[in-house]
Amino acid sequence: MISRSQEILQKAQKGGYAVGAFNTNNLEITQAIIEAAEELKAPVIIQTTPSAIEYAGLEEIYTIVWTAIVNSKIPAVLHLDHGKDYEIVKRAIDIGYPSVMIDASILNFEENVHLVQRVVAYAHQHGVAVESEIGAIGLGEEGVREGSTLYTDPAQAAEFVRLTKVDSLGVSIGNAHGAPAREKINIELLKKIKSKVDIPLVLHGCSGLSVTDLHQAIKNGICKINIDTNIRKASIDAMREELKQNPNDYRAVLGEVKEKVKGVVKRYIKILGSDSKG
């Protein structure tokens, strides 16, 4: 069922759990995410990145995900992940995305604020929620290096939220995309950020984090957890294995991908404590 990101994230914030935000690129991954959430009665966010939109087409991927959400039995949200400029965010809003991220974290503070303010003004006019990020994750979408890691400054985060009126905030506390080895987050820094920011906090690049780190992050204010790399890994592993058994039937291959991804999504839903919250 269609839900609003503000509603499910604020509920998670109050309930002491996190909502899983899982990235998709196609029909099978989308089905896997929805079916896993339905089986565990969990709210869920389904995300598409600009590269997913480039791969599948904006109208096509929007239609796939939106149809799955409309027909689902659990609260679900379609979200644009890591929109890098005003144009891609506007396109997503105009076609019907109810939740978007504008990621200008590689810009300086003033430029970041200016771009986010512009996006928020347009999005809020259309009833769309906005996520943004303060502090930079050195490894960007799909683990591609974008620059140096810059941890989120708690006071600057509070000022950023005050100036931009964003609905949720991604933070940089040691997390990184691509599940790098020895990924570790700074819980003390997160506590300081939480003490100054009262909107829902988001953690990107979570595929490499331990269960302990995830639990500590949730305990200290994170209520949206993004997972992409482990979905990709599960998909590739499933393809390789199934191709040995069914080299001439791509439907069997994609069906196995769907089942493997369902397992990944269900595992994270349980870790995040969002099962039975839908």
| Domains along the chain with CATH numbers | 5-229+261-272 (3.20.20.70)
81 is a catalytic site residue: yes
* CB contact at 8 A, 126 and 165: no
* CB contact at 8 A, 257 and 230: no
pLDDT, tens only, 89-147: 999 999 999 999 999 988 999 999 999 999 999 999 999 999 999 986 654 444 444 44
Q: Which residues of the chain have pLDDT under 50?
A: 139-147
User: HSE (CB half, 13 Å, CA atoms) of 237?
Assistant: 11
Of the candidates 76, 61, 68, 83, the one whose C-alpha atom is nearest the C-alpha of residue 5 is 76
pLDDT, tens only, 64-85: 999 999 999 999 999 999 999 9
pLDDT for position 206: 84
Give the burial string for 21-50 (b: 16+ CB within 10 Å, else e).
bbbbbbbbbbbbbbbbbeebebbbbbbbbb
Q: Which of 81, 153, 213, 228 is catalytic?
A: 81
The SS3 call for residue 268 is helix
Q: Where are the alpha helices (DSSP H) in 126-228?
A: 154-164, 187-196, 211-219
pLDDT for position 213: 93
**Residue written as token pair 């995830």:** 214
CA dist 127 → 96, 183, 234, 252, 273 (Å): 10, 36, 35, 41, 28
